[in-house]
Structure 1
Amino acid sequence: MNILVHYRKWTRMDYLEEISPEPTPLPRRRTHSPAFKAHLVALCKNSAVSVAAIARAHNINDNMLHRWIKEANVNSASPNPVAVPESSFIAVPMPSPPARSAQTASSIHLEFQGKQFNLNLQWPAHDAMGCATFIRDLLK
């Protein structure tokens, strides 16, 4: 007994018709009023809460809120296009240098340590060039 079965070849359109017989409308973008944007930007500037937390609380993507903040800064910028960077200099109080003794101020004190010798040298400060010449000749 032979039974012939005829198989129908399905096309792409058949699958599409089964999945969605009617085209669904595309979602529309949300639009926000300038007052709402200004309110959220002010919240971000005057609050200790993060921008992302404020965005999440108002069902806004945090990147969009960051963009609104940048746009508000650009719109409120001065008409002078030259931006002056803020000073990054921080003054740090320094301790005063220790007072020098009379012997240290009037002489040059050097210590040389080698494998076979140790040399302690005190030279008058007014003859610094002579000290430099002596050390140069010593190290030759």
Structure 2
Amino acid sequence: MLGGHVNTIEESAPARRRRRHSAEFKAKAVQDCLHRGVSIAAVALHHRVNANLLRRWVAEHQALDSAGEARALMTVPQAEFIPLQIGDPTPTPAIPDIQIEVRRGAATISIRWPGSAAAECGEWLQGWLR
């Protein structure tokens, strides 16, 4: 003891690393699980892997198989070229001018307003008639 402090050296446990399994190992373990009446837990014990991990491998294998079957059943028709006949574009008809003729007594007023500004013409007319 030096000055009231105790120096200790702790041994650290070696870090656990994740095991990496080859594709062949996974395929063999999954194939062993696909036999009738075989317990996934028993196969996992035999191959020394976690049963949940092996269940995931089996589920992934079955998902890939069903996706492959679905792709095989799908038929896509051959794309064909369909020619379209486009006629001459018809010009949009011009909007005729608005013509208003108002008579009050002996007075007559004629107004021409562009048809494209019909809303403004309506506003002007409402204000004028008040």
Could you tell me the TM-score, scaled by structure 1's length?
Answer: 0.42
Structure with greater Cα Rg: 2
